Amino acid sequence: MIKFAEYQNRFSNARLIRSDTGVLEIVLHTNDGKLVFDAQTHEQFVDLFHCVGEDRDTRVVILTGTGDAFMDTLDPTSFSFMSATSGAEKLLREGRKVLSNILDIEVPLVAALNGPVLMHSEYALLADVVLATPETVFQDKPHLEAGVVPGDGVNLLWPEVIGSVRGRYFLLTQQVLDAETAKEYGVVNEIVPAAGLLARAREIAERIAALPPLTSRYTRIALTQKLRRIVDEGAGYGLALEALSALSVMAQHPIASMAAKLPSGVKQAIGLSPSN
């Protein structure tokens, strides 16, 4: 068991606040602004979700972002480790652990999506309640833009949540789902104006936190059994395919920086300006 004080200030890309009633808010950020997903966050979030899952004093978790996006910006230059086999193994290990660690959070999880989710939408799909703003859109953008297999869990969870044909189309065509369509497809429970998003998330979380502790905890466990089986059975294989495809891309472009391999249009598309 881990105590909140032991990890509250450990993570540079996550601000952690817990109410007296046990509602833990995880606010993802980079330097107090919109999150820029990079190799550091890829590694850091494994430990973050592990610590949250091991803290028995937390009753409900709210996961949200900072600014006008939940997660829409990637720094590919930080993933230079992918140029070697050891880097591919790191990608696979961290990718598997972050999924299992989210599922090991044995209390209800509320995702409050404050804007676009263009990468790692699997975090939201593993939540029990998903709130979005009218500005929220979903897309799996970076994988195919960089010529890499989308095998980090989106390949398993999108077909499960919205249906096999819809899910495969979403990933293969890099489809953009607006909030209303996502709600129609069953990805989003409620669409809330941005100004009221956290208030609504807290309202739901406090209601759940008022339940007997084992009731809420065991309900989360009961409701995620199928997702756990899906992740356990398929995550390793999907991530191995992703790593192999990444190594293939790197082999075709023997340049030290991953960003240097990407056309300027691709860098712009994934949120990294050519000047970076």
pLDDT (tens digit per residue) in 209-239:
999 999 999 999 999 999 999 999 999 999 9
Q: How would residue 146 be classed by pLDDT, with cut points 50, 70 and 90?
A: confident
Residue that the structure tokens 């807290």 belong to: 202
Q: What is the mean pLDDT of residues 57-85?
A: 82
Q: Which of 138, 118, 256, 152 is nearest to 188 (CA)?
A: 138
Rounded to 10 degrees, what is the CA torsion of 229, 124, 197, 107? Answer: 30
Query: What predicted TM-score, i.e. pTM, was given to this entire model?
Result: 0.89
Q: Which of 147, 173, 128 is nearest to 247 (CA)?
A: 147
Which residue would you say has higher pLDDT here, 254 or 74? 74
Q: How would residue 272 be classed by pLDDT, with cut points 50, 70 and 90?
A: very low
Of 18-27, 42-51, 69-78, 110-119, the one with minimum mean pLDDT is 69-78
In this prediction, residue 265 carries a pLDDT of: 45
Cβ contacts of 200 within 8 Å, gap of 6 or more: 112, 131, 190, 192
In this prediction, residue 79 carries a pLDDT of: 65
Helix (H, G, I), strand (E, B) or coil at 174: coil
> The tokens of 124 are what?
């939201």
Question: Which residues share a beta bridge with 36?
Answer: 73
Pick the CATH number of 4-269 from 3.90.226.10, 3.20.20.330, 3.30.930.10, 3.40.50.2020: 3.90.226.10
Q: What is the mean pLDDT of residues 134-151?
A: 95
In this prediction, residue 252 carries a pLDDT of: 75
Side-chain half-sphere of 170: how many Cα atoms within 13 Å?
Answer: 28
Residue 249 has pLDDT above 90, yes or no: no
Q: What is the mean pLDDT of residues 247-270?
A: 54
> Considering 6, 94, 106, 122, which one is annotated as catalytic?
122
| E-assigned strand segments in 2-132 | 14-18, 23-28, 36-37, 60-64, 73-74, 109-113, 129-132
Determine whether 122 is an active site residue: yes
Question: Which residues share a beta bridge with 250?
Answer: none
Which residue would you say has higher pLDDT here, 177 or 89? 177
Helix (H, G, I), strand (E, B) or coil at 131: strand
Q: What is the mean pLDDT of residues 148-152?
A: 94
> The tokens of 82 are what?
């992918």
Q: How far apart are CA 105 and CA 75, in angstroms?
A: 28
Question: Which residues share a beta bridge with 18?
Answer: 24
Cβ contacts of 181 within 8 Å, gap of 6 or more: none
Residue 99 has pLDDT above 50, yes or no: yes
Q: How would residue 4 be classed by pLDDT, with cut points 50, 70 and 90?
A: very high
